[in-house]
Each structure stands twice: as structure tokens, then as C-alpha cells.
Structure 1
Amino acid sequence: MDRYVVKRPAEEEAGGGGKRPRAEAADPERAPWQEIRAEGLSCDYRLLFGRAEADELFRQLEEEVQYFEGEMTKLQVFGKWHDIPRKQVTYGDPELTYTYSGVTFSPKPWIPVLNRIRDRVTVETGHTFNFVVINRYKDGGDHIGEHRDDERELVPRSPIASVTFGACRDFVFRHCDSRGKNATRHIKPIRLQLAHGSLLMMKYPTNVYWYHSVPTRKRVLAPRINLTFRKMVTVAKK
């Protein structure tokens, strides 16, 4: 598994109590892409924003993003409704929707800070995006369970760009054949640690074969904001 791990600095390995990794001080224009490959998994990772700019964007996101409230803060798991264990919201082009765990989300209109981040992603990757899902984890108690981003609204074979600000959190990939009591194969999970200001490109066919999650980590005391930019199509209502 070690050959696939994107490591964070030693000071972060020891704590997780709010310090941001020193890697953000590097010049992002010189940060190389790291290829993360396994059977059926294709991801590219790099630092996208330097420390000062990442700090500024994190502050703007904290001030300007308006998260869903009320019924939009629940999801359906095995027929039962549960509170989402984090804050969540979607922004994007009009007429687009996103259905996840029994809830259909309509996007809020784009705001300048999101356009700024999206434009940088487009410049660096050559891919355009019309929708973003934002998850805010207040600390290591907030989490997201294993899932695949394979909703029918996604443009087939389009990549998903995951941009992270704030605390490092474990990001775990698990192959679909290695999950649960009925696993048919033993394939080691892949654990990444995504730095403040970083970009992870999840490319086809990753979301066909691999689930991903952000598990609880009680030692982490600082917030994390993650933005997953997507290319969506308008799905006709039944």
C-alpha cells in the first residue's frame, strides 16, 4: 500500500490538532503531479494553491458559503433517514440537480470565491466543471462513509476534481471486491492524506471500482472544507 500513499509532513503525522502542513508554503507552480495508480484506479494529485492563497480562500469559504439547512441535511441509508454528519451544500449552473442517498439537491448560484477556485482547476487540468459539492468537516468527528461518485447526472467518464482546504484528513479508497463480509478478493485499501490547498483528480474508471471515504479521526481538532467539482448533465424528470 505504501507506494500509493501521498504523505504529509512529519509534524502533521504526530498531531492533527490544527497545524497545517508545511507543504503549503511551497510554490504550487513547481509542485509536480503525483500519479496514484492501482487496479481500476487512476488519480493525479498535486498542490494547487500556496500557503497564503490557500489561507485566504479558506477564510472566504468560511465567510461566504451558505450550507443547506432543514430537510436538506438528512440522507437515506438502507431505508432509514439520518442526519448528515457534516455540513453540505451544492453550487452550480441553473437547471442541474444531484441525487445522493435519496435526496435531490438543487444548486445555489455560483459565487466569486467558487468561480476563482474552479477557474484555477480548469487552467491546471484543461477540464471544465458546472457543479460543485461542498462538504465542511468541523473536526475529526465529522465524516463521510464509503461511497462512489457514480450518480446518473454525471457526464460519463468525466473526472472529478477534489480540492481541499484546512486540516489534513485520511482519505481512504477501498476496492468494491474487498468490502464487507462477502468480499471476494483481498485488495489493500489505499490511504491518502490531502494537504491544505491541494487538488486530487479522480479519473475514470476509479469510481467504477473503488469506494472512498473520510473516516472519523478524533485527534483532528481543526475544520476541513472539501470541494468536488463535477461535469453534470440535465436529467429529465420522470
Structure 2
Amino acid sequence: MTDTALVACKIEKITDCSTKNKEHIDKGTSELISARKPETAVCPSNICKWRIINGENLVLRYGLLYSRLEASNLLHRCEKELVYNTGILAKVKMFGKLIDIPRKQVAHGDASLSYTFSGNTVPAMPWTPLLTEIRDQVSKTSGYDFNFVLINRYKDGHDYMGEHKDDEKDLCQGHPIASLSLGQHRDFVFKHQDSRGGHKRRLDEKQGRGRNLEPVSILLEHGSLLLMEHPTNSFWYHSLPRRTRALGVRLNMTFRKMNPANCKPVGTSK
């Protein structure tokens, strides 16, 4: 798909088969999707309907997995049960220096799994009954199995996640990543690698012109599930920007399929 084949438009409302929940889209930012009308596909479990979002090497599915009441109950249980990393496990390496992660974080998964990113290796704590319950529902709805979940807790809009791609060698290549959101709605922004700083400048020098693919912004609702399918993470960076007006707590669970052969021992770095 070429640049000119992409158009900016708004995503239509999503209907939840079991609730009156509706999708809220950030009116201040356009959604970059394919020129054809977005498709709607029913989830395998018939719990929600997917909104399919396509762009240049961008393949996303978004739907409401839980009702507002169900999502609130899960958030309450998570707030009571989850214990987050501290010390070295709560830091990442930036420009050769260890800094605090601007949010709380913990990982759970199958035995011996770990996840290495930004200069730190995070071990998977054992699955709990609550997380197993959520994982199984995500798998049933998405049609994919997962053996690892990275959980981020944002106390309010001051906590954020910078631009990055989930393309580490630890991950099973080509397997989707499923992102479940609970709590405060936040906008989630995708930016194509050719439209970012240094990469764009190199293209300018090499080709004599830049590529200006517009960012894609989706407002992630309480109880929503976003499926990032291949090859999205090979070409698109994503981030959760700081939003000081967002006052509530947000939990995000990204379910992944890790390759045990590539997982490093805890305490090592890239």
C-alpha cells in the first residue's frame, strides 16, 4: 500500500454484544486506516466485535472485551493482588545510565521465561489464578495462545511510556501481542519508523525526500482489548504519552508469546 492509498478518517462505534459500552475516539487526532471502509469481525467467543484498522504494514484489531462492571471488578482485584517490581528490576538503561521506569511494572508467565528490553531482563513471576483467568479469556477471544504478560500500572496521566517497538528476540516472531486496558482511558499513539527523527533524516539524505505518514491514535477504553498483529511491530513505534489531565489509575496487560530458547537469565542485559 502506498502513502497516497492511506486516508485519515474516524473509526465508527463498536457495539459490545453483552453491554451498552461504546468506543470513545480522541476527536483531536485522526485515525489513519486503509482507504476502504473498516471491517467489523465478530470475536471467536462472540463477546465483542472487532474494529479492524489497517494501514501500511499496520494491522490492528480493537474491541471491548469486558463490560464496565466486569472491568471495574477486575481492576479492583488487580489493585489488591498485584505486587510490582522494585530495585534494579524497576529501572531501564537510557544512554548508558539506569533510570527509574515512569510507571510500575511486573511480569508473569510460564516457568523460566523472562523479557529483556532497554538494558534490563525482567523475570516472569508465576501465573496467579486471576491472571490465568484473564489470559484464558484473552486467548479465547483473540484466537491466540500466550505464555507471558507484562503489566504496567500508571497511577495517573503523569506516568507514561515512551516510543518503542516490541520487536525483541525474546518474542516469537510473527505472533500478535494482545493489550488489555483497565481503568483510566488513555490515547495510544502509533508512529511509522520512516516518519521518526533520525530514520526520516536518513531517508531524506538517501532518497531526497521524506515520508510523512500520519500517526495513528486510538483511545483505549476501560475493558478494551487491542490486538497488534504482524508486521505492525516491525514498522510502527507505539507510545502512551503523558497526559496531565488524566487523573485515574490505568492498568495495561500486554500478553505475549515468548520463545524460551531466546530468553536470557535474570540480571543480564542486551
Written as runs of structure 1 = structure 2, the 5 A alignment for 1:155-234 is 155-180=172-197, 182-183=199-200, 184-234=210-260
User: Which residue is equivalent to 2:261?
Assistant: 235
1:52 aligns with 69
**Residues 4 and 202 (structure 1 numbering): CA distance in 2 closer, same or farther, change over 3 Å?**
farther
User: For 1:61-84, what per-residue CA distance to the aligned partner results, in whole angstroms no more than 9, with x for missing partners?
Assistant: 111111001111110112122110
1:128 partnered with 2:154: no
Tell me which of 71, 88, 93 is aligned to 1:76.
Answer: 93
Question: Highest CA radius of gyration, 1 or 2?
Answer: 2
The CA deviation string for residues 45-92 of structure 1, in whole angstroms up to 9 with x for no partner, is 000001111111000111111100111111011212211000000000
Partner residue, 1:3: 9
Equivalent position of 1:25 in the other structure:
none
1:61 alignment partner in structure 2: 78
In structure 2, the CA distance between the partners of 1:179 and 1:52, relative to structure 1 (3 Å rule), is same
> Does structure 2 retain, via aligned residues, the 8 Å contact 1:67–1:89?
yes
Give 1:170 shift: 0.9
Q: Is the 8 A contact 1:40 1:209 kept in 2?
A: yes
In 2, are the aligned partners of 1:6 and 1:193 still within 8 Å (CA)? no
Structure 2 residue aligned with 1:110, among 121, 127, 130? 127
- CA distance in 2 between counterparts of 1:168 and 1:155 reads 29
SS at match of 2:108: strand
Distance 1:3 1:223 in 2: 30
**Corresponding residue number in structure 2 for 1:23:** none
Give 5+ residue unaligned stretches, structure 2: 1-6, 14-22, 29-44, 201-209, 266-270
State how far apart, in whole Å, the 1-side matches of 2:46 and 2:73 are.
18
Residue 156 of structure 2 corresponds to residue 150 of structure 1: no
In the TM superposition, what is the alpha-carbon distance from 1:9 to its structure 2 partner? 3.9
Q: Which amino acid in 2 is paired with 1:210?
A: W
Answer with 223-232 or 31-40: which moved more: 31-40
Q: How well do the aligned residues superpose, as a CA RMSD in angstroms? A: 2.1
Q: CA deviation at 1:6?
A: 7.4
Partners of 1:5 and 1:77 lie apart in 2 by 36
Give the structure-2-normalised TM-score: 0.78
| Contact 1:146–1:211 (8 Å) recurs in 2 | yes
> Aligned letter for 1:77?
M
Contact 1:159 1:203 in 2 (8 A): yes
| Partner Cα separation in structure 2 for residue 189 and residue 126 of structure 1 | 28
Distance 1:130 1:216 in 2: 30
The answer (yes or no) to whether the contact 1:4–1:36 under 8 Å persists in 2 is no
Distance across 2 between alignment mates of 1:144 and 1:59? 23
Deviation at 1:134, TM superposition (A): 0.2
SS at match of 1:235: helix
Which stretches of structure 1, 4 residues or more, deviate above 2 A after TM superposition? Answer: 1-10, 28-31, 235-238
